[in-house]
Structure 1
Amino acid sequence: MLQYRFKQSFSAEPSISNKLFDLMEVTFPGLSSLAECARKLGASWETASTPFMRFHDDIAITHVGVLEIPMQIMGQKLTVGGVHGVATRAEFRRRGYYREVMSEVLQYCDTLYETLVLTTPQPEFYLPFGFRVVEEHIFKVKCNSTGNTNSFRVLDFTDTKDYTLLHRLLETRAPVSNIVGVVKEKPVFCVNEGSRTLYCAEDLDLIACMEIEDTRLHLFDLVTTQICPLKSILAKIPQPIEEVVIYFSPELLNVKDVQAFVHAFDETVLMVRGKFAAEGEKFMLPRSARC
């Protein structure tokens, strides 16, 4: 017998968390460990997400989660709804359960948010529900940074100082872009970035989500109270950098001769439902905010 539970609260029934992550691990292997990492950083999935689930014999068979993402879009601050963790067990697919749950999700969201976002490698699942694909771009800048002092250090979240720094900057961060940026958001950031290497430049009061590949710097996000010029970041890196690939709109980085390229991040597309003022602009939703 099937039992449907609408907007079940994690706090009202803590056991629902284990049932959800059983489903998540089948659908998205490794997600449970990412969620546990975020929990250790003080930003748990359960405090951020509203779960919409269907059960069979007390086993979670379908889930769609909704969380809030405070954003700045075209200079205006707003809270958008993030749809995430969409999953149905394989043996229960093609029976209409996902459609029923998503319909409940949209009824709930339409009373709260003018804009919904999600990222997915399978946009065809969401087109019937009024979501549309919004084109994203990466940005490339040629440079000739010969390397300077090594001012970045790797954050260690077992250190109370670094843990406190992360929370302070996430709570007070400036949007990385005025076209599309995120402010005062923790859970999605901690799930996406908490298990990665994060770098801190103390004198810039900045946390950088970045990777260096030979002489190429990949810059995914900056968590800081004031976005600084790109040259200030390059000056903190001790090795030569010839190209920077930026995964957000770089208009605040004070760079010239930027080339924009249409890009599907990690083979996923951004989909939106409702108003989205940045549509048609060149931007990317940062890796740290993709859900």
Structure 2
Amino acid sequence: MVFPEIKISDAAQVGRMLGASWESASTPFIRLHDDVAISHVGVLEIPMQLMGQNIIAGGIHAVCTHPEYRRRGYYREIMKEVLDYCNSRYDTLVLTTAQPELYQPFGFRVVKEHIFIAKSDSVGSQGFRLIDTSDPNDVKLLHRLLETREPVSNIVGIVNEKAVFCVNEGRNPLYYAPDLDVIICMEIKDTQLQLFDVVGTRICTLAEILERINIRIQEVAIYFSPDCLNADVQALSHILDGDSLLMVRGNFAAEGEKFMLPRSARC
């Protein structure tokens, strides 16, 4: 009801089918009216690498109140409970939003993000196949790589996280390169490659990815810091989807660096 454009029920069902449900990963804070949930804030744990250091961040997600019960203070009450819960557990909280004004009173601040553009003139050979999320062997492969993945970036990267990845990317095409043993989250629009995540025990270079795409690529847009890709890039200030602002509360070691929190890890 609150987020119809993202079809969150469908995304959550995909996460369950992939064996990484939000119900098992999220701690819900809820207000009820006659046993019906009317306001909710969820807290997820997101294992991250920031500037080469591993941390567990708290991810604030699915913040919503039933339209008929808004402006009664439920959201503020729940957020106070959430912060009391998180303050003793996490030094860093993250969320993404199109409405930063809702979170600034609670100590959250917007952190600038960047997209990275690389020029190319590449035509490779066919080296990827689509992951079949209905195939148990492919689901097992996905779990193995998510559990053992190397961070896609030493500036801001994700390690051993499944629930947010499966909800965010489970409905999108996932490409597997058997010889590299990596799963790539990518889209191709005309001659531009859009690169959203690389999941593997070794992060391959951009050249290795391009060598396995059998159409001409003239530009690559990278939606995470490409420090591990061995690529010549130009960094540009960017807001994902035009309104998905990253906000943090507490320590965030990568603040001031050029990076983007991967789409697969945004909540």
Q: TM-score, normalised by structure 1?
A: 0.90
Task: State how 1:1-291 maps to structure 2 within 5 Å.
Answer: 26-29=1-4, 30-145=7-122, 147-256=123-232, 258-266=233-241, 267-291=243-267
Deviation of 1:51 after TM superposition, in Å, equals 0.2
Which residue identity does 1:263 align to in structure 2?
H
Deviation of 1:95 after TM superposition, in Å, equals 1.1
Partner-residue secondary structure (3-state), 1:203? coil
Structure 1: 5+ residue stretches without partners: 1-25
Deviation of 1:282 after TM superposition, in Å, equals 0.3
Aligned residues: 264
Structure-2 separation of matches of 1:63 and 1:152: 40
Q: TM-score, normalised by structure 2?
A: 0.98
Deviation of 1:117 after TM superposition, in Å, equals 0.1
Structure 1 moving runs of 4+ over 2 Å: none
Structure-1 separation of matches of 2:223 and 2:124: 24
Structure-1 separation of matches of 2:205 and 2:156: 18
Structure-2 separation of matches of 1:172 and 1:241: 30
Structure-2 separation of matches of 1:188 and 1:34: 10
Q: Which has the larger radius of gyration?
A: 1
Partner-residue secondary structure (3-state), 2:179? helix
Structure-2 separation of matches of 1:116 and 1:148: 41
Deviation of 1:148 after TM superposition, in Å, equals 2.0
Structure-2 separation of matches of 1:94 and 1:177: 41
Which residue identity does 2:240 align to in structure 1?
F
